[in-house]
Amino acid sequence: MYFNAKDGVKIYFEDTGSGPPVVMVHGAATSAKVYDGLISRMVARFRCIRLDLRGLGRSGRVDSVSPTAWGEDVLALMDHLAVDRAHVLGCSLGARIAGRLVLDEPDRFLSLTVDAPLIGVAQAANKRLNTRFTNLDNPSPVDRVRWQLFHGDDWRDAVSFYFRARNEPALQEHLTLRPRLAEIPTPTLITRGDIDDDVHPLAHAIEWHAACPDTSWLWIAAGTAFSAAQNRAEEFARVFGSFVDHWTARSLP
């Protein structure tokens, strides 16, 4: 399904299941398809709403993106579906967007879940990512298959757009959450696999939890790389359900 953002860009979304709404935001140069395995384990209890960020996936192609546009599209989708408040889940780039959303619009969100979170981009990782996102004539076989799956036949346009977007200083500043972690008022579930890497350092998940010890849970999935939501979907769904139950009970009068 599609809706039109305020500037006319067509945003693709899917809305399945019933129960409390969970808005899912995907990561860098991917699409909402990354949540296929998770949604099948959550729709019996939650209304799962996912979108392709503008410029990516099945959403409309754009030449550039403002620092706030991706977050504004999430809010516009919630308005389009008449969802006043929702749980929000983001992975990687999506975790940065989700974290910024709860800072800017805390009244719209029941909880925040950040999977494989980044609280800033390290210089070494930044250089490696830029090399990856510019090597479009000879990408790795895995990237070629994934990018075509996520974006379709014009995947080069989508990945090239993302490369330009991620190198905009204003966007990186807007999504760098480290200085403001302690300001986040929303109950937060932080998840990650325990196999470390320099793009999504395990230390970032631990640092986020340490900044919000009274309002966050930390779940690290053993023997797992990167995203717990994608790579340990069944266990993630159970942890998420317990997290929601805990904070819902605490909010009752």
- The CA-atom distances, in angstroms, between 102 and each of 41, 84, 176 are 25, 14, 14
Residues of the chain where predicted confidence (pLDDT) is lower than 70? 252-253
**130 occurs within a structural domain:** no
E-strand stretches of 30-137: 47-51, 86-91, 109-115
**94 occurs within a structural domain:** yes
Q: What is the pLDDT of residues 106-164, one digit of tens each?
A: 999 999 999 999 998 877 778 888 888 888 999 999 999 999 999 999 999 999 999 99
Tokens 């986040």 belong to which residue?
184
Instruction: Return the pLDDT at 252.
Output: 60
**158 occurs within a structural domain:** no
Residue 45: domain span: 2-121+169-248
- Are 32 and 26 within 8 A, CB to CB? yes
**133 occurs within a structural domain:** no
**198 occurs within a structural domain:** yes
**157 occurs within a structural domain:** no
Instruction: Return the pLDDT at 251.
Output: 76
As for how many domains the chain has, the answer is: 1
What CATH number is associated with residue 85? 3.40.50.1820
Instruction: Return the pLDDT at 89.
Output: 98
- The CA-atom distances, in angstroms, between 46 and each of 8, 88, 92, 219, 237 are 29, 12, 22, 20, 10
* Of 199, 211, 198, 205, the residue nearest 229 (C-alpha): 205
**129 occurs within a structural domain:** no
**153 occurs within a structural domain:** no
Instruction: Return the pLDDT at 135.
Output: 86
Instruction: Return the pLDDT at 253.
Output: 59
